[in-house]
Amino acid sequence: MAANLKEVRERIRSVNNTQQITKAMKVVSAAKLRKAQQAIVQMRPYADKQNEMLRNILSNLDGDASSAFGVNRVVKSACVVVVTSNRGLCGAFNTNVIKEAVKTIESKYADVRAAGNLSLLLIGKKGNEYFKKRYADCHIISDHVNLFGELTFGRVTAISKSLMDQFLEGKYDAVDVAYGRFKNAAMQFPQCEAWLPVPKIEVEEGSKKMKADYIFEPNQAELLEHLVPSILQTSFFKFNLDTQASEHGARMTAMDKASENADELLRELRISYNKARQESITRELSEIVGGAAALESA
């Protein structure tokens, strides 16, 4: 019984130590989340409106004006950008983003992969660890795995500009981005969006096509040359900000649940410990009473 009590005490001590870690991680994640959430909340309306404007413009161009970033080509080669976190302990967040990327690879780009023309650009260590083991037949690009160590617009722009240049050169006919879209601390949604070429606005059959009401100054061609790359770079930066906020939100929620589970486990262990202790005391008292009775009868 003494051995059992010692084992329960050690388990209680172990769970207490683990709970201290999970509570500390929750506090750290909450602090990081506030900063990351502020960044994506401020960026998203601007980026979404820019993206809507870009799709509208490219769907309604006049005359000879055009942008190479909006031209649909036969997809013979493609690149899927997978944005995950560097660290775990954030629930199913990374797994869900990876699943969304795998779904796109296995369905949308199955033929491209079979031809050996699919590239995977991996941002974040968790995605890198997964795809390097299971997708060796794809061209793995892991030069930017540690991007979240210092997430700045300049560093992200260098990646997006490289992808845009390769798209223009014809190395890639399509680029998709898998990331975690942030809603709040408890909800994050994995998504895989087509980034290049810029998706056109879909018009239902029989409906009247709306004309974009924009005035171009100095002219369409010159403005598109500067406007389109800028909007695409902003959009790519938003994907990374979304994922960063989603990671911290998922980790904060996971650590909160872990702390609650530790409380429940501690409650059960203390009940078990008290029961075992009571049994031990009762047995010792019984032995004392029995010994005294034996002495009196002798």
Catalytically active residues, by annotation: 90
**Residues in CB range of 164: below 8 A, 6 or more apart:** 69, 196, 229, 232, 233
Of 115, 122, 247, 112, the C-alpha closest to 177 is 122
Instruction: State the residue for tokens 């606005």.
Output: 201
Residue 52 CA to residue 86 CA, distance in Å, equals 31
In 75-192, which residue ranges form alpha helices assigned H by DSSP?
93-107, 110-114, 125-134, 153-169
H or E element at residue 120: strand 118-123
Amino acid symbol at 263: D
Angle (deg, nearest 10), helices 220-297 and 2-59: 170
CB distance 19 to 259 below 8 Å: yes
Which two three-digit tokens encode residue 92? 């199913």
Residue 243 CA to residue 87 CA, distance in Å, equals 13
